[in-house]
Amino acid sequence: MTESPILRTIVQTSLYVIKLLALWIYMRGHQEPGGGFAAGLIVAAAIVLQGLAFGIKEAERFFPLPPHITTAIGLTLSLSTVIGPMLVGHAFMDHTFGYLYPPIIGKSEWATAALFDLGVFFVVVGALKSIILSIASEKSADQQISGEAELGANSAGEGEAG
Amino acid sequence: MNLALASIFWPFLGALVMMPLYPLFRRRLGWAALVVALGALALVLITPAGLSTTLPWVPQLGINLTVAVDGWGRMLAYLITGIGSLVLLYSILYLDQREDLGKFYTYLLLFMGAMLGVVLAGNLVTLYIFWELTSVSSFMLIGFWWTGLGGNYGSLKSLLLTVGGGFCMLGGILLLGQIGGTYEWGALLAQKEAILAHPSAGIALVLILLGAFAKSAQVPFHIWLPDAMAAPTPVSAYLHSATMVKAGLFLVGRIWPLFASHPYWLPIVSTVGLLTMALGAFLALQKTDLKAILALSTVSQLGLIMSLFGLGTSEGLGAGVFHLLNHAIFKGLLFMVVGIIDHETGTRDIRRLSGLRKAMPVSAVLMAIGAASMAGVPLFNGFLSKEAFLDAVYHSPLGLTGAVVATLASMLTTLYCLVLVLKVFFGEPAEDLPKHPHEAPKLMLAAPAVLALLAIAIGVLPELVYGILADATGALVVSYSLEVGGFHGVSPALIMSATALGGGALLYTQRGALVDLFRRWTPQNLHLNRLYNALWWEEQYVERGAKRLNGLQMTGLLRDYLITTFVVIIAAVLGTVWYKGIRFGELDLAPIALHEAILIGLMLAGAILTVRARTRLTAMVAITLIGMPTALWYALMRAPDLALTQLVVEVVSTVLFLVVFAHLPQLKVYPRTPRIQDVNVVVATGVGLVAGLITLFANGHRIFKPEIAQFYLDNAYKGGGAHNVVNVTIADFRGFDTMFEITVLTIAGLAIFTLIRLRQPKGGERK
């Protein structure tokens, strides 16, 4: 964690942009470069950024769900889009798509592949968040270097409680 | 809705709701489980024989969820659900309300469903899966009282032996499937002649029999059953006497129509059966724990039925089927009464128990009925099937030898039946029992009483079960006329029966001397338990061997692992190239532009810097020097998706590295001896060579024409409805890969979390 007000200010404002960016990257994944995996990685990067600027507690709060639950939700979502088709008589992993014509927005596409991708997004966010938090909140006994690389200086007690 | 499928899945469904229902029902959860079991019984009763249905599962491999109901499966299904219901009724008062009832009933219903799956399966792979599921639920139930050492020992032993046997059986099933080209039992049976003529048929048979023997506790696998008695008594009554141990017999009966005429059949099955029967009775006499006596007597009786199936004659089969039914009834009854004695007096040691007749009159009568049936006293059901057994053995190819062994074993059976009744219930009332004995509540006596009534009813009026028996046997043999019951005049079987009963009664007067003699004959050091303990329990030779083998590869040095991996890759690729004589083909290479040369130069510099780095930070920055130009390269190649992902991965991993560095000691530079250097150079060059070669080969040989890429381009919008071909490929066309990748990512995340949180600090104590 750093006390630098410059970093904190920049991070605080840029996080909104990063969140939007992740959403945008996920949404456009169906038609243009992007997708759940990249979006998940961006969120992970944002979590790291948050941790660097405000400490581990804030990083934990960045994505509202606990990491293992996020991962579980993602995996369940992906698996259900894979197994779901079997239950209604289609082949395993038979994705489908179609078009809706809601007012104002006009022709929009829906696809079960996007749900699968959303699952990927959640898994990436959850797994990486779990990794980041567990590494960062670990206070090493034989620690030699401290300072800019140490995310969790204020969370030593937490690491021990875990 | 298919009835047979429903009766398999209904108990599973019940098992699922037991845990959620536990907080609502608390100690009355047993009633809910009983309702589930009665529902299963009703479903089984209304399921007609001949019903068959197939749900495709992995049809490409011939693996289907097939249920095929026949008389043989139905008879077992009656036992599973009928005795299951009685056991559940019995368990309600048997189990203390402080026990974890939710788990108990979950496991028990899980077992019921799995066992129904075994007996109603029409596909051998389906059967195998349910088969192993019964082993798993048995493991859970034996270990239910896991705080004592016995629970752990017994559950692990039963699991290792039965699943080990099951593994052999899987081998046999796969072999049989290869021979016959199908796993559907009906289809296999139809090509009986061709299968029997196949040279591998004998191996398949032996492997399947190993599984059946292990499950039914036949010699030399019998050692797990006595230790399984660590389970609560309702479990012993249900799984380890009435149903699960019958699964092996069921399987032997199931393959009887196919293999009974195989030359291996008679010598293996009937010899093992007779040996088990004699050994079980021999060992049972030496025990002083009531449950141990019953366990070994179960071993003995299972051997009896096994030997009947092994005779290969339809009379033997019919007698075996009948005795299987009877044994389930009287042994379930005996176990329940022993459970009551244990419950009311606090001990199961026959040296301490005596004279309980006054305190527990009803239990005494019930025990006497069960014991009389097991010994084969006329007018009880056991008499009829035992007569049939002696008759079948006498008229079989085993002849006189078989008859003598059978009679002697029956004599010992009579002896321990007398011990069960006379020693425990007659004589002077014991004074120093842990609890003051009194009769069990009526509810607890109800279940054994039903079984006792059945034992007498079948004994007096065997016509009651003719229909069931004829259906069961009829499903296995073409022509068979049932002949049990009634007085046939003085036959050899009657003489053998009388000898067994009279001899047993005579021996009872001398039992002290006899048991001493038997104990002296038993070579304690050569006992199979010693072998098991050496391998898996005390000395743990298997585990230590595995560790040593593991230690050879797992040195803990990253360099060793990388060398192994890379050498294998190099050998595989170069070997294939050399062996198949692969040529480059027509290369279509673009010239290297200046900006590309610069990127390559950057990456090369990064690689060299990384290797030469003396601190982690330098290495980290140098690696970025490889990664960032790669991202740029992707962009140049018009692959924005890859470029984007690569960029983000690069950033996140760099930051993670930096975070980790805080916890790591200074980079340790390992001494670079000439030998290590040489190996490194060779392996590194080899990897570079292989990577380069593969690229050139791939460029020179466009095997799939039109190219794969074109397929994805053409179909992404048509099939996936999206313009982003990469994402359609990831999420749809090759979504299977992605699915497993995210699973791996999940596991990796959990593993890192666990490793870091549970890591041992240098002091050695766990956090």
Whether the bond into B220 is cis, omega within 30 of 0:
yes
Is residue B158 scored above 90 in pLDDT?
yes
**Rounded mean pLDDT, B291-311:** 93
Of B752, B762, B659, B760, nearest to A142 by C-alpha is: B762
B47 with B53: CB under 8 angstroms?
A: no
Whether the CB of B751 is below 8 Å from some CB of chain A: the reply is no
pLDDT tens digits for range B362-389: 999 999 999 999 999 988 999 988 888 8
Nearest-by-Cβ selection for A41 from B648, B724, B736: B648
pLDDT score recorded for residue A157: 37
Q: Residue B48: how many CA atoms within 13 Å on its side-chain side?
A: 2
pLDDT tens digits along B491-532: 888 888 889 899 988 888 888 888 888 888 877 666 788 888
Mean predicted confidence (pLDDT) in B257-281: 91
What is each CA distance from B127 to A13, B116, B159, B218, in whole angstroms? 62, 10, 18, 20
Considering CB atoms only, which of A48, A120, A135 is closest to B742? A120
H helices of B124-220, where?
124-142, 149-180, 185-190, 192-197, 201-215
**Residues of B with CB below 8 A from A36's CB?**
731
Distance separating alpha carbons of residues B144 and B137, to the nearest angstrom: 10
Measure CA of the first residue to CA of the last residue in chain A; give whole Å.
20
Q: What integer pLDDT is reported at residue A143 of this predicted model?
A: 42
Res. B152: pLDDT tops 70: yes
Indicate which of B65, B663, B747 best probes the interface with A, i.e. most A CBs within 10 Å of its own CB.
Answer: B663
Least confident of A127-141, B220-234, B597-611: A127-141
Using CA atoms, how far apart are residues B541 and B531, in angstroms rounded to an integer? 10
Q: For residues B75 and B73, what is the distance between their CA atoms, to the nearest angstrom? A: 6
> b/e per residue, B348-378, with b = 16+ CB within 10 A?
bebebbbbbbebbebbbbbbbbbbbbbbbbb
Tell me: cis bond preceding B462? Omega within 30 of 0 counts. no
Q: Is B349 helix (H, G, I), strand (E, B) or coil?
A: strand
Does A10 touch chain B if contact means CB atoms closer than 8 Å? no
For B439, which DSSP code?
Answer: P
Question: Could you give the 3-state DSSP secondary structure of residue B362?
Answer: helix
Instruction: State the amino acid at position A6 in one-letter form.
Output: I
Closest chain A C-alpha to B616 CA, distance in angstroms: 12
Which is more confidently placed, A161 or B538?
A: B538
pLDDT computed for residue B526 by the predictor = 65
Residue B480: CB atoms within 10 Å:
16
Query: What percent of chain B is modeled with pLDDT above 70?
Result: 95
Residue closest to B265 by CA, chosen among B219, B325, B308: B308
pLDDT of residue A145: 37
Amino acid, res. B180: G
User: What is the overall mean pLDDT for chain B?
Assistant: 87
Q: Which residues of A touch B616 (CB under 8 A)?
A: none
Residue from the list B644, B720, B750 with its beta carbon closest to the beta carbon of A34:
B644
Smallest Cα–Cα separation from B364: which of B425, B408, B313? B425
CA neighbor of B390 nearest in space, from B283, B500, B485: B500
Instruction: Count Cα atoms within 13 angstroms, Cβ side, for B690.
Output: 17
Whether A147 shows a pLDDT value over 50: the answer reads no
Q: Assign B400 a pLDDT band (cuts: 50, 70, 90).
A: confident
Q: How confident is the model at residue A149 (pLDDT cuts 50, 70, 90)?
A: very low
The answer to whether A111 and A97 are in contact (CB under 8 A) is: yes
For chain A, say whether B651 makes contact (Cβ under 8 Å).
yes
List, as ranges, residues 691-720 from B with C-beta within 8 Å of A: 720
Contact indicator for B371, B418 with CB cutoff of 8 Å: yes
Tell me which chain B residue has its CA closest to the CA of residue A33.
B641
| Test mutation, A100, A131, A146, chain B, max B CBs within 10 A | A131
- pLDDT value at residue A28: 80
Contact A40, A125 (CB under 8 A): yes
| Token pair recorded at residue A93 | 């992993």
Chain A window 37-76: which residues touch B at a Cβ cutoff of 8 Å? Answer: 37-38, 41-42, 44-45, 48, 52, 67-68, 71-72, 74-75
**Per-residue pLDDT at B482:** 59
CA distance B495 to B502: 10
> What one-letter code names the amino acid at A27?
M
Q: Are strands A108-111 and A97-100 parallel, antiparallel or unpaired?
A: antiparallel
Residue B761 is given by DSSP the state P
Contacts of B705 (CB under 8 A, 6+ apart): none
Instruction: Please name which of B56, B78, B60 lies closest in space to residue B123, comparing C-alpha atoms.
Output: B56
pLDDT at A146 over 70: no
A105 confidence band (pLDDT: 50, 70, 90): low
Question: Whose structure tokens read 């990083």?
Answer: A59
* Contacts with B, A 122-141, CB within 8 Å: 123-124, 126-128, 130-132, 134-136, 138, 140-141
Burial class (CB in 10 A: 0-12, 13-18, 19+), B288: middle
- CB neighbours (10 Å) of residue B496? 24
User: Would you state the pLDDT for residue A152?
Assistant: 40
pLDDT above 60 (res A71): yes
Range with the poorest average pLDDT among A135-149, B686-700, B747-761? A135-149
**Contact present, B308 and B274 (Cβ < 8 Å):** no
Confidence band (pLDDT; 50, 70, 90) for A154?
very low
Whether residues A78 and B658 touch (CB distance < 8 A) is answered with no
Banded pLDDT at A68 (limits 50, 70, 90): confident
Of A65 and A98, the one with more pLDDT: A65
Q: Count the neighbouring beta carbons within 10 Å of the beta carbon of residue B544.
A: 10
Residue B286: count other Cβ atoms within 10 Å of its Cβ.
17
Digit-coded pLDDT (tens) for B687-703: 999 999 988 888 887 77
Confidence of residue B478 (pLDDT cuts 50, 70, 90): low
pTM: 0.73
A48/B767 touch (CB, cutoff 8 Å), yes or no: no
Calculate the dihedral angle through the C-alpha atoms of B154, B159, B165, B167, rounding to the nearest 10 degrees. -170
A111 CB neighbours in chain B (<8 A) are 720-722
pLDDT for the residue A92: 67
B645 Cβ neighbours under 8 A, 6+ residues apart: A37, A38, A41
What average pLDDT does the segment B119-138 reach?
A: 94
Which pLDDT tens digit goes with each residue over B448-464?
999 999 999 998 988 88
